[in-house]
Amino acid sequence: MLIKRSPNGIEIPFPSEITPQHIFESRRNFIRQIALGSIAGGALLEMAGRQALAQNSGQKLAGKPNPAYVVMDRPSAYKDATTYNNFYEFGTDKADPAKYAGSLKPRPWSIVIEGEVKKPVMLDLDSLIKLAPLEERIYRLRCVEGWSMVIPWIGYSLSALIKKVEPTGNAKFIEFVTLADPKQMPGLRSPVLDWPYVEGLRIDEANHPLALLTFGMYGEVLPHQNGAPVRIVLPWKYGFKSAKSIVKIRFVREQPKTAWSRAAPQEYGFYSNVNPAVDHPRWSQASERRIGEDGFFTRKRKTLMFNGYNEVASLYAEMDLGKFF
Ligand code: MTE
């Protein structure tokens, strides 16, 4: 993505965080080390703080596998999916979110749904999760930068939520507003984007069953770096459309001004459907590197129209996708 760095780079004050997979192991070691008397004073306090920060990650979350939404490709390794991330609120390097997103507090969390709806509402996380049965779906995710992964997500179709709030006839688009709290997100100090990170969809896109309101992955609640506690996943669009850590969903009349299209409109369009025939102004989109298949002789994969999700094609039947990229 286009990156504007501040003259001094990004200052990140937080200590490294523990990745979810290691939490159990590290807790056990922590207790063992206390028992052995090998941790003392400040170190003990610092570790206790880190344990507290990591508490929300790693919790199990079950979703009923939905065979209608499974790709044949092998899912990416959990480690790759949780250590190679884009979440600029925690820094612009791929490793930054895993290192620094421990400061995100995914509970308590609430989400406001407002605008052109008959039933605006503020929901806490548990009420939101219980709104519809959770499913596990294995989706391809193609980043605009030219890499891809395959991830087992847990959530339900966004359309279930849309139905509950009863959009008015004026609701033509949906805007997703994500958390922008400098106390939790060190990356906000850098003017990479005009915060908060905002994304949007046309209402018929948002109602497509593929659009997944997502609470978990790999049988666990979303790790902080993957957009805890709630994000959207839109597998037929470039990854940046899949906004993380959502706090507000607004139903609006006009096409929302999204963070990336404001930063570089000539490079990142509102639609951003995966399209191998429409190159990014600075690179080709014809092929992709699957993370985890990085051997020297490994061939790149051909990128598929709509990332292979042809069922969305009818949403764009009348459109010139070169113009509306
Ligand atoms: N959401 C927010 N709030 N901030 C971000 O920087 N990055 C986007 C998207 N959602 C981003 C975001 C980009 S560029 C990608 S590719 C995906 O998240 C990556 O999701 P993943 O880290 O779970 O693979």
Supply the DSSP string of 55-92, one letter for each residue.
Answer: TTTT-B---EEEEEEE-SSPPPPHHHHHHS---GGG-S
User: In angstroms, how far is the first alpha carbon of the chain from the final one?
Assistant: 15
- 34 C-alpha vs ligand 1 centroid, how far in Å? 38
Q: How far is the C-alpha of 320 from the C-alpha of 280, rounded, in Å? A: 16
Q: From the CA of 88, how far away is ligand 1's center (Å)?
A: 8
Atom of ligand 1 nearest to the CA of 143: 16
CA gap 234, 275 in Å, rounded: 14
- CA distances 297 to 5, 41, 300, Å, are 34, 51, 9
243 C-alpha to center of ligand 1: Å? 6
Report how far ligand 1's centroid is from the alpha carbon of 271 (Å): 16
Question: pLDDT (tens digit, 9 = 90+) per residue, 12-66?
Answer: 232 332 233 333 334 334 333 434 344 443 344 334 334 434 445 689 999 999 9
Q: Does domain 61-316 have CATH number 3.90.420.10?
A: yes
Question: Which numbered atom of ligand 1 lies nearest the CA of 244?
Answer: 1
Sign of CA dihedral 123, 127, 132, 137: positive
pLDDT digit string, tens, across residues 22-37 = 333 343 343 334 343 4
Exposed e or buried b for every residue in 23-46, given b needs 16+ CB within 10 A? beebeeebeeeeeeeebeeeeeee
- Rounded to whole angstroms, how far apart are CA atoms 288 and 303? 6
Q: Which atom of ligand 1 is nearest to the CA of 225?
A: 22
Q: Cα of 244 to ligand 1 centre, how many Å?
A: 6
- Give the pLDDT of residue 296: 80
Please indicate whether residue 89, judged by its CB atom, sits closer than 6 Å to ligand 1: yes
Q: What is the mean pLDDT of the chain?
A: 87
CB atoms within 10 A of CB 189: 14
Q: Find all residues with CB under 8 Å of 89, minimum gap 6, and list them.
A: 178, 179, 180, 185, 187, 188, 195, 197, 245
So what's the pLDDT on residue 8?
42
User: What is the number of the ligand 1 atom nearest to the C-alpha of 193?
Assistant: 6
Tell me the C-alpha distance between 294 and 274, whole Å. Answer: 22
Confidence at residue 25, expressed as pLDDT on a 0 to 100 scale: 36
Domain positions in the chain: 17-52, 61-316
Quick one: average pLDDT of 211-232? 98
Predicted structure pTM score: 0.85
Kindly report, residue by residue over 149-181, the tens digit of the pLDDT.
Answer: 999 999 999 999 999 999 999 999 999 999 999
Q: What's the CA-to-centroid distance between 104 and ligand 1, angstroms? A: 15
Element containing residue 41 per DSSP (H, E) = helix 41-54
Q: Which helix (H) or strand (E) holds 175?
A: strand 173-178
What distance lies between CA 302 and its chain's CA centroid? Answer: 23
Q: Cβ contacts of residue 179 below 8 Å, gap of 6+? A: 89, 104, 185, 196, 245, 246, 247
Q: Is the distance from the beta carbon of residue 242 to the nearest atom of ligand 1 less than 6 Å?
A: yes
Percent helix, strand, coil in the chain, to 5, is 30, 25, 50
Residue nearest to atom 22 of ligand 1 (CA): 85
More confident residue, 6 or 24: 6
In three-state secondary structure terms, 20 is helix
**Contacts of residue 25, Cβ cutoff 8 Å, sequence gap at least 6:** none
Question: Is residue 85 lining ligand 1, measured as CB closer than 6 Å?
Answer: yes
DSSP secondary structure letter of residue 17: P
The one-character DSSP state at 314 is: G
- Residue 219 CA to residue 152 CA, distance in Å, equals 8
